[in-house]
Structure 1
Amino acid sequence: MGFLDINRATKSYGAVKVLHETDISIDEGEFLVLVGPSGCGKSTLLNMIAGLEEITTGDIAIKGRSMNGVRPAERNIAMVFQSYALYPNMNVAQNIAFGLEMHGVPKPERDKAVAQVAELLQINHLLDRKPGQLSGGQRQRVAMGRALVRDPDVFLFDEPLSNLDAKLRVDMRTEIKKLHQKLRTTIVYVTHDQIEALTLSTRIAVMFGGHVQQLGTPKEIYDRPANMFVAGFMGSPSMNLFPATIAVENGRAVAKARKSGGEVTLPFAEGRGFEAQAGREIVLGLRPEAITDRDGADHRSRAVHVIEVPVEITEPAGSDTFVMAHLGGKEVTGRFRADVDVRPGQVFPFAINMEKAVAFDPRTEARIA
């Protein structure tokens, strides 16, 4: 049993089921991120934990106590919204203290709690200002302060950074991570941004179509995606997916795929067990960093294979250069070093690290190895 247990929880609106049976157990101090595209059910699940949406079937328990039928105010949870939801007529200190005041906490205790949270979030100098006098990042800190001051069992974040500009989003991401490391609070965080999910979480639940597609650590999700949806959704740029066929040459399993003007043979790393599946059609998955220039390849790998491929597009990106080509009739993206002299139209050696290769069943889209 975890600190927060979601047991076979579902949500339906009439005949439409928006969340199918969901089982997640969250330990105390974990940072779980629910990630997926719009309409996947992640915000619905968060609202069910908060008590803002009723559960259709199943159960949600906090610290062993079922929350079914328990009002939101009695769940000892705190929620940080995308829109900040600050009271415009109150100053920062009053906004932070409002929840405590509603719960009858005496003013000296409220003032002490507000001062502690303000110092933690470095907003001491803003306590007398109204929300209209604050920047987006400052408003988000105040919204977080209002949640923190209550010392709840679980913090719920509903896309809290989506209204911020790109740089501020990165800065606030770092602040939230620091805060979690310092306080070791239990957090459930909803986002559609897979970079946020990978950088913030201790575990990720990738959702699509009302189902949890995969639940695991950021490394598990990134390196061993459960299916082609997870592979394509997580990572930026996303995993390259292209058709190939398993064959055996000289006793070793290889993947054969089409390339411009012919066919390419990519030997799998030893011990993957593909030798018994000769002739099987697969979808081969390779992250962009597994497709690079010869000198940038992982020299510790025993399965780096160099192939000559015509370059179609190059995209300089500061620390990297993204290079596009075609394999298996699909466009693939490689992550090259920034100083590599590679140009569109050039036939260039691509180093492919097959230790990082993932194979999927083209019919079920599930990972097979």
Structure 2
Amino acid sequence: MGFLDIRNVTKSYGSVQVLHEVDIEVQEGEFLVLVGPSGCGKSTLLNMIAGLEGITSGEIAIKGRVVNGVHPSKRNIAMVFQSYALYPNMTVGQNMTFGLEMHGVPKAERDVALARVAKLLQIDHLLDRKPGQLSGGQRQRVAMGRALVRNPDVFLFDEPLSNLDAKLRVDMRTEIKKLHQTLKTTIVYVTHDQIEAMTLSTRIAVMNKGYVQQLGTPKDIYDTPANVYVATFMGSPAMNIVPSTVVMEGGIPHAKITDADGATRHLRFSQPNLAAWEGKPILLGIRPEAITDPEGADRKSGNIVALSNRVGVTEPAGSDTFVTMQLCGRDIVARMRADATVAPGQVFDFAVNMEKAVAFDPATEERIAP
């Protein structure tokens, strides 16, 4: 049993089912991120945990207590919204302690909680200001502070950083991470941004069309995606997916591909179980950072395969250079060092780390497990 249990939960609006038997166990102190595109059901699930949406079937329990039908105010949860939802006519301090006041907490206790949280969030100098006098980042801190003063069992974050500019979003992401490490609170966080999901979470639930596609640590999700959807949704740039065929050479399975000039190439797999797929089509998945120049290849890998291919486009990106080439008629992205010497039209010797390669069944798009 987890600290927060979501057991076979479904949600329907009339005949339309928007969540399909979601089953997630969240441990105390865990940071779970629900990530997926708009309309995948992540915010609906968060609202069901909060009690703002009813449950069609299944159960949600917090600390062993089933909360189906329990009013939001009785669940001991706190929610931070995308829109901040601050009262414009109240000061920062009043906004942060309003919930405590409504629950009858004595003023002395409210003042202690306010001072503690304001210092933690470094907004103690803003307590007498109104929300209209604050920047977006300051408003977000106030919204977080309002949740923190209540000391709830579970914090719920609904895309809290989406209204901030790019730099501030990165800064606030770091602050939320520090906050979690300091307080060890249980957090469920919704975002469509896979970078936020990877950097903040202890575990990620990747969602699409109302289904949890994969639940695991950021490393699990990134290195061993359960299917093509997860592989291409998580990661920037996305994992390269190459249609291929398994061939055997010396008793070892290889991926048979064609390069930009139509020549056949064989890339040696590190998965011996793929021998069972000899002669069958697969989808070969390779992350951009697993395709690089020979000098930048992973020295710890035992399976770096040379691949000579014609360069299509080069994109300098500061710390990296992204190189696009073609394999099997598809554009494939390689991530190289900033000082890698490579030019469009050049035939270049790429180094492919096949220890990082993943194979998918083209019929089901599920990963072929080792």
CA deviations on 1:115-142 (whole Å, 9 max, x unpaired) are 0000000001110110001000000000
Name the CA distance, whole Å, in 1 between partners of 2:151 and 2:291. Answer: 47
Consecutive unaligned residues of structure 1, counting only runs of 5 or more, are: none
1:312 aligns with 2:312: yes
SS at structure 2 position matched to 1:312: strand
Match of 1:5 in 2: 5
SS at structure 1 position matched to 2:187: strand
In 1, are the aligned partners of 2:252 and 2:272 still within 8 Å (CA)?
Answer: no
Match of 1:149 in 2: 149
Match of 1:263 in 2: 264
CA deviations on 1:130-179 (whole Å, 9 max, x unpaired) are 00010000000000000000000000000000000000000000000000
SS at structure 2 position matched to 1:221: helix
Match of 1:324 in 2: 324
Name the CA distance, whole Å, in 1 between partners of 2:328 and 2:84. Answer: 47
Name the CA distance, whole Å, in 2 between partners of 1:145 and 1:193. Answer: 23
Match of 1:123 in 2: 123
Name the CA distance, whole Å, in 2 between partners of 1:275 and 1:6. Answer: 39
Deviation at 1:273, TM superposition (A): 1.7
Letter of the structure 1 residue corresponding to residue 184 of structure 2: R
Deviation at 1:355, TM superposition (A): 0.2
1:343 aligns with 2:343: yes
Name the CA distance, whole Å, in 1 between partners of 2:69 and 2:40. Answer: 25
1:236 aligns with 2:227: no
Letter of the structure 2 residue corresponding to residue 287 of structure 1: R
Letter of the structure 2 residue corresponding to residue 350 of structure 1: F
Q: What are the within-5 Å matches in structure 2 for residues 41-190 of structure 1?
A: 41-190=41-190
Name the CA distance, whole Å, in 1 between partners of 2:340 and 2:66. Answer: 58
SS at structure 1 position matched to 2:8: strand
Deviation at 1:251, TM superposition (A): 1.5
Q: What are the within-5 Å matches in structure 2 for residues 194-273 of structure 1?
A: 194-261=194-261, 262-269=263-270, 271-273=271-273
Match of 1:193 in 2: 193
- Structure 1 runs of 4+ aligned residues shifted over 4 Å read none
Match of 1:356 in 2: 356
SS at structure 1 position matched to 2:48: helix
Deviation at 1:69, TM superposition (A): 1.0
Name the CA distance, whole Å, in 1 between partners of 2:300 and 2:23. Answer: 39
Name the CA distance, whole Å, in 1 between partners of 2:272 and 2:300. Answer: 18
SS at structure 1 position matched to 2:86: coil
SS at structure 1 position matched to 2:29: coil
Q: Which stretch shifts more, 78-87 or 248-257?
A: 248-257
Name the CA distance, whole Å, in 2 between partners of 1:272 and 1:286. Answer: 17
CA deviations on 1:91-138 (whole Å, 9 max, x unpaired) are 100000000000011111111110000000000111011000100000
Name the CA distance, whole Å, in 2 between partners of 1:38 and 1:21. Answer: 19
Q: TM-score, normalised by structure 1?
A: 0.99
Deviation at 1:258, TM superposition (A): 1.5
Name the CA distance, whole Å, in 1 between partners of 2:339 and 2:42. Answer: 41
Name the CA distance, whole Å, in 2 between partners of 1:264 and 1:54. Answer: 55
In 1, are the aligned partners of 2:4 and 2:60 still within 8 Å (CA)?
Answer: yes
In 1, are the aligned partners of 2:31 and 2:201 still within 8 Å (CA)?
Answer: yes
Match of 2:21 in 1: 21
Match of 1:36 in 2: 36
Deviation at 1:276, TM superposition (A): 2.6
SS at structure 2 position matched to 1:244: strand
Name the CA distance, whole Å, in 1 between partners of 2:209 and 2:265. Answer: 36
Name the CA distance, whole Å, in 2 between partners of 1:274 and 1:363. Answer: 16
CA deviations on 1:238-270 (whole Å, 9 max, x unpaired) are 10001010010111110001112211110112x
SS at structure 2 position matched to 1:86: coil
Consecutive unaligned residues of structure 2, counting only runs of 5 or more, are: none
SS at structure 1 position matched to 2:144: helix
SS at structure 2 position matched to 1:145: helix
Q: TM-score, normalised by structure 2?
A: 0.99
Deviation at 1:272, TM superposition (A): 3.1
Deviation at 1:77, TM superposition (A): 0.1
Name the CA distance, whole Å, in 1 between partners of 2:30 and 2:283. Answer: 34
CA deviations on 1:262-297 (whole Å, 9 max, x unpaired) are 11110112x532223211110000000100011000
Letter of the structure 2 residue corresponding to residue 355 of structure 1: E
Letter of the structure 2 residue corresponding to residue 353 of structure 1: N
CA deviations on 1:182-238 (whole Å, 9 max, x unpaired) are 000000000000000000000000000100000000000000000000000000001
Q: Which stretch shifts more, 64-73 or 256-265?
A: 256-265
Name the CA distance, whole Å, in 1 between partners of 2:300 and 2:116. Answer: 49
Deviation at 1:300, TM superposition (A): 1.5
CA RMSD of aligned residues (A): 0.7
Name the CA distance, whole Å, in 2 between partners of 1:174 and 1:55. Answer: 34
CA deviations on 1:328-355 (whole Å, 9 max, x unpaired) are 2111100000001111111111100000
Name the CA distance, whole Å, in 1 between partners of 2:196 and 2:184. Answer: 18
Deviation at 1:12, TM superposition (A): 0.3
Q: Which stretch shifts more, 254-263 or 347-356?
A: 254-263
CA deviations on 1:38-96 (whole Å, 9 max, x unpaired) are 00000000000000000000000000000011000000000000000000000100000
SS at structure 2 position matched to 1:150: coil
